[in-house]
Amino acid sequence: MQKFDVLIVGAGMVGLTLALALRQASQLKIALVDSSAVTELDESIDVRVSAINVASKNIFTNLGVWSAIEHSRVQDYQHMHIWDKAGLGKLDFSAKDSTSWPPEDNLGWIIENKVIRHALWQQAELDEGIHFFTDNTLASISHGDSEVFATFVHDNADESATKPTPPIIAKLVVGADGANSWVRRQMAMAMIFKDYDHHAIIATVECPQGHQNTAWQVFLPTGPLAFLPLKSGQSSAPLAGKLCSIVYSTSPDEAKRLTALDASEFAKELTAASDGKLGDIKLVSERFTYPLTMRLAQDFVKDRVVLIGDAAHTIHPLAGQGVNLGLLDAAALAQTLTAKLSEYDESYAEFVNVADLKAFSRWRKSEASEMIAAMAAIKQAFAPQPSPVKLLRGIAMNILNNFAPAKNHLIAQALGIKADLPELAYQKDTL
């Protein structure tokens, strides 16, 4: 039997962030369970990327991992260009127009998921209070009044199998294990689902005109297409400033048609869809597609189990805020669990406070709900509309583009600068 204070299921970006945040603020003993161990970084560029905003960058900085991330492959961007394919509307955002304090040079950063996870994992391995379990998968979790009991799968019929991993006892279990969360299913935690009727196509492309340190997004009749600027590796130096990650959200039928095209025909479709603003595009990676579903847990907390990140909520990727929401969940939960530790004895015999966890659930569910509603409103606004509505939409976008107060508010939202952030999401000198 192994005893820990917190068992985190899922050592992705969100789970690792939680582990580091807890250890920075306490001496809690952490178990991290994930069947997929981190691998060493190589020159291959991951198709899976995240748009990291200033709040998330502050979290990484305060946890001491930003420098490692920054010295790998990180692409900053200072501009966003958004336009309506079916109309004349456009929006242009620039970091220099931000009125935030302290001032920001960038609107955000596009970073490969594996780069972020590698930096977090390396930092966690240096902490003796964080223990990794990557050999076996969990079989079950059950809870009592003051503890949670977790067991691992072991194949008794396999004589070559390693020695069974002893069960874990913890005061709290955190499900950070993604959209198809095993923890959520084990605990029968109710979810609200809505099919967005979109599939996302992701890939890496070469743009001869260069990305210009700009995040590009065009709203097509079938859905949004984003070109996110990417950093090239040393082996692809000739492509410096020319690589983008695409996120093409479209109807299932259109996604099926597009992925069936050969590479050159698919690239031609991207060039036409983007009005040639980035040149004659070339596909330089495989294409991956997956269905988009809105998920929201009815409650992020049940007994001694908490859900964070995609295990608690998933949203449409059109604003690139999914990972940022999850990182804020991790920072908020760490703050909630450690805020009153001084009130308990040094052994942390009981640090799980039901009222505090319920407050955490309300806090994070409220923001996730607001983001889900905003994504739904944007998606609906750019759905196919009669010509008069498209004209009005374009006029509204152009008015907004020239109305500084409204633009400044949208820039602040893109930066992740808002009220009621966890302390880790602020720059240290502004705490």
Question: How many independent structural domains does the chain possess?
Answer: 1
What's the CA gap between 291 and 213, in Å, rounded?
29
**Which residues, 6 or more positions from 169, have their beta carbon under 8 angstroms from its beta carbon?**
1, 2, 3, 4, 147, 148, 149, 150
What's the CA gap between 64 and 352, in Å, rounded?
26
34: phi then psi, degrees, rounded to nearest 5? -160, 130
DSSP letters, 355-380, are HHHHHHHHHHHHHHHHHHHHHHHHHH
Q: What is the pLDDT of residue 344?
A: 54
Q: What is the pLDDT of residue 431?
A: 45
Q: Is residue 242 part of a domain?
A: no
Q: Is residue 361 part of a domain?
A: yes
Q: What is the pLDDT of residue 325?
A: 96
Look at residues 133, 138, 137, 118 and name the one whose alpha carbon lies nearest to residue 13.
Answer: 118
Structural contact between residues 213 and 78, judged by C-beta atoms closer than 8 angstroms: yes
Dihedral through CA 172, CA 176, CA 179, CA 183, nearest 10? -30
What's the CA gap between 120 and 10, in Å, rounded?
13
Cα end-to-end span (Å), the chain: 41
By CB neighbour count within 10 A (0-12 exposed, 13-18 middle, 19+ buried), where does 19 fall? buried
Which residue type does 34 have?
D
Look at residues 116, 112, 105, 110 and name the one whose alpha carbon lies nearest to residue 411.
Answer: 105
* Strand pairing category for 243-250 and 223-229: antiparallel
Q: Is residue 405 part of a domain?
A: no
Q: What is the pLDDT of residue 258?
A: 97
What's the CA gap between 412 and 283, in Å, rounded?
33
What's the CA gap between 250 and 256, in Å, rounded?
10
Structural contact between residues 216 and 274, judged by C-beta atoms closer than 8 angstroms: yes
What's the CA gap between 117 and 252, in Å, rounded?
30
Cα 25 vs. chain centroid, distance in angstroms?
Answer: 23
Q: Is residue 198 part of a domain?
A: no
CATH code, domain with 303: 3.50.50.60
Instruction: Indicate the length of the chain as a whole number.
Output: 431
DSSP letters, 180-246, are T-HHHHHTT--EEEEEEEEEEEEEEEE-TT--TTEEEEEEETTEEEEEEE-PPPGGGGGGTTTEEEE
Structural contact between residues 177 and 10, judged by C-beta atoms closer than 8 angstroms: yes
Can you give the residue range of the structural domain that contains 169? Answer: 2-74+109-193+293-383
Q: Is residue 164 part of a domain?
A: yes
Q: Is residue 171 part of a domain?
A: yes
Per-residue pLDDT for the chain (431 aa), expressed as one digit of tens each?
899 999 999 999 999 999 999 999 999 999 999 988 898 888 889 999 999 999 999 999 999 999 999 999 999 999 999 999 987 889 999 988 877 767 788 999 999 999 999 999 999 999 999 999 998 889 999 988 889 999 998 765 455 555 778 899 999 999 999 999 999 999 999 999 999 999 999 999 999 999 999 999 999 999 999 999 999 876 566 788 999 999 999 999 999 999 999 999 999 999 999 999 999 999 999 999 999 999 999 999 998 999 999 999 999 888 778 899 999 999 999 999 998 776 555 555 578 888 999 999 999 999 999 988 988 888 777 777 777 777 778 888 888 788 778 778 778 877 888 888 999 999 876 44
* Strand pairing category for 168-175 and 2-9: parallel
Q: Based on C-alpha coordinates, what's the Rg of the chain?
A: 22
Structural contact between residues 378 and 319, judged by C-beta atoms closer than 8 angstroms: yes
Q: Is residue 300 part of a domain?
A: yes
- Which three-class secondary structure string do you get for 280-337? CCEECCCCEEEEEEEEEECCCEECCEEECHHHCEECCHHHCCHHHHHHHHHHHHHHHH
Q: What is the pLDDT of residue 345?
A: 52
Q: Is residue 54 part of a domain?
A: yes
What's the CA gap between 74 and 96, in Å, rounded?
20
